[in-house]
Amino acid sequence: MAAFNVDSVRESENKVYPGSPQLARKAINEIDTSEQTGVPLNTPWTFWLDKTVRGTSAAQYEASLKKLYTVNTVQGFWSVYNNIPDPSELSSRYSYHLMRFVTRPVWEDEYNSKGGHWRLKCHKHDTPTVWKELLLAAIGEQLSEFMAEDDEIGGVSVSIRDRDDIIQIWNTKSQHAEAATVITKVRQLLPKVTFTTIFYKAFQSHEAFESEKAFKVKR
């Protein structure tokens, strides 16, 4: 997947609309306008929000999973980003996800089920910077350049916890993870950040993974 000029992504940061962090109707109208005239992304990306509680049922988890907006342009991305709370403002157990296409941030989703994720932990004071840089790298396809040829970045997530926060970089083909050098790219993007934990795990190897779409969240 070809990358476009990531500088155009950064230059657009200051060309967004101020608005409500709750994506009020006015903000949505402004985002819609941005989407009509903005620089196209290589693929659509969807912002999601959820709150994970151990042991909740599939129905409860699905009820907590909220689609915020699907963006197709650079300007649309910044409009959403600037109209939702910063990760530092979220309470513990909440997560943001930016997923390719309109894919749900669910391991068992057909698009995700054969993949996995790199799981990183960072100090809370670094979380907003890490999240922002990885979002830009994802939509600019910078991370994709460090993947195996048949693999793809499926999404990125940030999960707020009581101590260190959790960052996840999703890929679609777990069998190609060893050939990827995506963590090298992360270190290049964030040379001053110390990650307390870094490891990769295939979704199907998780104890909580269920082959059927009805599942119980134990993450």
pLDDT at residue 209 in the model: 63
Rounded Cα–Cα distance for residues 22 and 68 (Å) = 9
Nearest to 185 by CA among 118, 107, 111, 101: 118
3-state secondary structure 91-147: CCCEEEEEEECCCCCCCCCCCCCCCEEEEEEECHHHHHHHHHHHHHHHHCCCHHHHC
The reported pTM is: 0.85
Residue range 113-149, pLDDT digits in tens:
999 999 999 999 999 999 999 999 999 999 999 999 9
Confidence class for position 16, pLDDT limits 50, 70, 90: very low
pLDDT digits (tens, 9 = 90+) for 18-27: 333 457 778 8
Q: Delineate the domains of the chain, giving CATH numbers in brackets.
A: 6-205 (3.30.760.10)
